[in-house]
Structure 1
Amino acid sequence: MAKIRARSSKGKRVARDTWKTKSWYNIYTPQSFGGDLIGQTPANDPSNVIGRVAEVSLKDLTNDHSKHMVRMYFKIDGVSGNNATTQFVGHDTTREYLKSLIRRRRSKITTITDVKTKDGYKIRVKAMVLTAVRARDCHKRDIRKKMEEIIRETAKNQTFPEFVQAMLLGGLGSKIFGECKKIFPMKRVEIYKSEVLEFGKPIETPEQENKEETSESPVEEEITEECAEMKIESKE
């Protein structure tokens, strides 16, 4: 039998409000970013939430108004009840802000560097240096080489959360500025974009490893002489 769609008294189709059938899911940042609530998203089914990307300003996470131009992106990777967990997948900087930094009689030097952190995360980092005065090609080449060297070395010696913090809060930029000013007068350094290319595995602490070993090791039953005698008597 064919199904008959509901119609109004005038013969028109009745529009269904699909929003009423959807549930709202709270989106949280990873614990390494404070586990803060950054928004909500609607979906008919929890599986539809997986893979969505939430955007939030770094200013909103740190309450630092000087970071209003930095946008962070978190991808939903799990749902528990009405709460969605996320992973940091990258950041960028508004085009208007980057344009405002450009001045005449200065040089802009950019690098795109793929790095790997201590815990196996692969990240593409885009950095920019602005010199105080116009630089020659030889200086640009040396500055670019030093930038890439510092970015790679920093990532190699830090975990993923530590490296992301260094990128976003200025630690990496300060390190580049301090080393590159020895080559040529510097005006500003910006780590203006990043993208996670490959996720690694969190490094386990010695305490966590010991806990796993103790939980997995078999417990041997200790049989005393009295217990042994009782078992022999019961068999007889």
Structure 2
Amino acid sequence: MAYNKKYADWSRKKWFEIIAPTKIFNEIVLGETPAYEENQVIGRTVDLNLAFITGNFKYQNMKVIFQINKVTGLKAYTEIKEISLYDAYVRRIVKRGTSRIDDSFVAKTKDGIDIRIKPLVITRFKAHRRQKTAIRKTYKEFLIKKAEELEFYDFIEKVINYELQNEIRPVLNKIFPVSHVEIRRVIRETPIVIKEEIEAKA
């Protein structure tokens, strides 16, 4: 049989299980990634549909980006880098005759992590500039306050479960009727701490 260098090189690779964070996802296995050495895995990201992770179809419109920051043996542990709504979902909820209200700002969580929050509100009818400004300001102040009260993973969990969106919705409705109150993206801006030491396999 002829020597196949490409196959031989590939066969030398190890397969590392990608593990979700303990908080929210309870260290479930997200998948696998190949590498020759443990340090090649550090810093890699994986982008997954939230419905796939949870097994719950109601989360189909959201994705999560994880970053590997620690390797123990053949297990690659992650932290959440970003959560976001799919663009296709956002396009679907924006209807003719409505107003789309976007914003983007940085807040700091209770545990000192800087996050960029991108809220989105869709009104039932066309809103005037004054009403859009009031909605944007009210939602921003609410989210900044909530971030200050919550640790990073608690904030993320409440976004995923629509607790924050549902809490502010009645307030926004008093300003102008709304059809959708969303948080389009939450991006972790504080760098994820990389565990430089590769822990030995037990």
TM-score, structure 2 length as denominator?
0.89
Q: In the alignment, is the contact (CA less than 8 A) between 1:122 and 1:200 conserved in 2?
A: no
Q: Secondary structure at the match of 1:191?
A: strand
Which residue number in structure 1 is paired with residue 13 of structure 2? Answer: 22
Following TM superposition, where does structure 1 have runs of at least 4 consecutive aligned residues deviating by more than 3 angstroms? 13-16
Structure 1 CA distance for aligned equivalents of residues 190 and 160 of structure 2: 19
Identity %: 28
- Could you give the per-residue CA deviations for residues 19-57 of structure 1, whole angstroms, max 9, x where no partner exists? 101000000111002111001000000000000001121
Structure 2 CA distance for aligned equivalents of residues 14 and 159 of structure 1: 51
Larger radius of gyration: 1
- Could you give the per-residue CA deviations for residues 55-100 of structure 1, whole angstroms, max 9, x where no partner exists? 1211123322121121101100010000011010001221111111
Q: In the alignment, is the contact (CA less than 8 A) between 1:28 and 1:35 conserved in 2?
A: yes
Q: Secondary structure at the match of 1:87?
A: strand
Matches within 5 A, 1:123-162: 123-162=115-154
Amino acid at match of 2:151: T
Pairwise CA RMSD: 1.6
Selected match of 1:34 from 16, 19, 26? 26
Q: Secondary structure at the match of 1:135?
A: coil
Gaps of 5+ in 1: 1-7, 202-236
Q: 1:14 to 1:132 in 2, by over 3 A?
A: closer
Q: In the alignment, is the contact (CA less than 8 A) between 1:91 and 1:195 conserved in 2?
A: yes
Single out whichever of 55-64 and 120-129 deviates more from structure 2: 55-64
Amino acid at match of 2:11: K
Amino acid at match of 1:22: K
Gaps of 5+ in 2: 194-202
Amino acid at match of 2:131: H
Amino acid at match of 1:160: F
Structure 1 CA distance for aligned equivalents of residues 105 and 5 of structure 2: 52
